[in-house]
Amino acid sequence: MILSGSAKLAGVLGWPVAHSRSPRLHGFWLHRYGIDGAYLPLPVRPDRFADAVRTLRDLGFRGGNVTLPHKEAAFTVCDRVSRSAQRAGAVNTLIFEADGAIVGDNTDGWGFVESLRSALPDLTFVGRTAVLLGAGGAARAIAAALLDEGAQVALVNRTPERAEALARALGGAIVARAWEALDALLPAADLLINATALGMKGMPSPALPLERLPHRAIVTDIVYVPRRTGLLRAAERRGLRTVCGLGMLLHQARPGFAAWFGIDPVVDAELEAFVSADIPEIDEGE
């Protein structure tokens, strides 16, 4: 990579940041499109976050991604935040505008919806029923995006109070239900989404009565390490359509790349293979 004096710069701010796949992902696109630019891993301590963001802006960076633990703190440094960031309660993308304004966006929910649309082009959301497991940061962004697409959401979480608080915060066609209600919820589900940490490498898969799902149901897991989680494999064995979590990771990166580098990048099999080269297909230990 050879940069000119007017190279476009962006990066990911996290603490730690070494685990982030974003530099590899954006680096692939920069190379593919021959862009005079770079995307850097930026380890930033929590107490230095606001100063670091303003310094990057002052150094001429175009913006960056924000990962743990800064996603909520990013609100305080932004001059404006998008509706998706407000709804998600977190910022994952920063854009530094020409006049110096710092704009915060959240693309996780959009990335989730886009990943489903690209895997299943006939899929529609209006009036569909989604059963969403989890009430953490990712579940919140997904719930908000599904509601905005016109779906109805039943939110189920290990800690019911968190699901109830999230349903109240988002409002609209969303209800919080107990884990024990899944038997009754699944027969009406068009979409089952795991947005908990269950199924990550080294963790058990969620125990679910998948036999209660109708044949039309689509099962998706936002966990992408391993790529084919125990939940997805169980759903495949029942003949259900499945979508894995890697697509969400890839699609959520597109709006930032477009804003900083000027091209809406394509998510395809070559990118997917490159970004997931070190991700195990299944968890052998499960």
Q: Is 157 in the site for ligand NAP (CB under 6 A)?
A: yes
Task: Pick from 24, 54, 117, 158 the residue near ligand NAP by CB under 6 A.
Answer: 158
Q: Is 73 in the site for ligand NAP (CB under 6 A)?
A: no
Q: Give the x/- contact pattern for ligand NAP in 175-214, rule: CB under 6 A.
A: --------------------xxxx-x--------------
Distance CA 152, CA 173 (A): 5
Distance CA 31, CA 154 (A): 42
Distance CA 26, CA 40 (A): 9
Q: Is 223 in the site for ligand NAP (CB under 6 A)?
A: yes
Q: Characterize the bridge pairing of strands 129-133 and 102-105.
A: unpaired
Distance CA 237, CA 106 (A): 34
Instruction: Pick the stretch among 116-124, 169-177, 246-254, 270-278 that binds ligand NAP (CB under 6 A).
Output: 246-254
Closest alpha carbon to 195 in 154, 134, 251: 134
Nearer residue to ligand NAP within complex by CB, 235 or 248: 248
Minimum gap (Å) between residue 68 Cβ and ligand NAP: 8
Task: Pick from 139, 218, 240, 253 the residue near ligand NAP by CB under 6 A.
Answer: 139
Q: Is 135 in the site for ligand NAP (CB under 6 A)?
A: yes
Task: Pick from 37, 64, 245, 265 the residue near ligand NAP by CB under 6 A.
Answer: 245
Q: How far is CA 74 from CA 25, 207, 282, in A?
A: 22, 35, 35
Q: Is 243 in the site for ligand NAP (CB under 6 A)?
A: no
Q: Partners of 66 in the beta sheet?
A: 13
Instruction: Pick the stretch among 16-24, 76-84, 219-227, 277-285 that binds ligand NAP (CB under 6 A).
Output: 219-227
* Sequence-ordered list of residues with C-beta below 8 angstroms from that of 232, at least 6 positions apart, any chain: 219, 220, 221, 242, 244
Q: Is 162 in the site for ligand NAP (CB under 6 A)?
A: yes
Is residue 37 within 8 A of residue 21, CB to CB? The reply is no
Nearer residue to ligand NAP within complex by CB, 61 or 199: 199
- Whether 201 is catalytic: no
SS3 content of the chain, % helix, strand, coil (to 5): 40, 20, 40
Nearer residue to ligand NAP within complex by CB, 155 or 240: 155
- CB atoms near residue 218 (< 10 Å): 21
The DSSP element (H or E) to which 116 belongs, if any, is helix 108-119
Question: 3-state class of 257 per DSSP?
Answer: helix
Distance CA 197, CA 139 (A): 11
Nearer residue to ligand NAP within complex by CB, 191 or 222: 222
Minimum gap (Å) between residue 55 Cβ and ligand NAP: 27
Distance CA 192, CA 183 (A): 13
User: Choosing from 21, 57, 62, 71, which is the catalytic residue?
Assistant: 71
Written as six digits, the tokens of 57 are: 């802006």
Number of residues that bind ligand NAP (CB under 6 A): 23
Q: Is 275 in the site for ligand NAP (CB under 6 A)?
A: no
Nearer residue to ligand NAP within complex by CB, 41 or 136: 136
- Report the interface residues with ligand NAP, using CB under 6 A: 108, 134-139, 157-159, 162, 195-198, 200, 222-224, 245, 248-249, 252
**Active site members:** 71
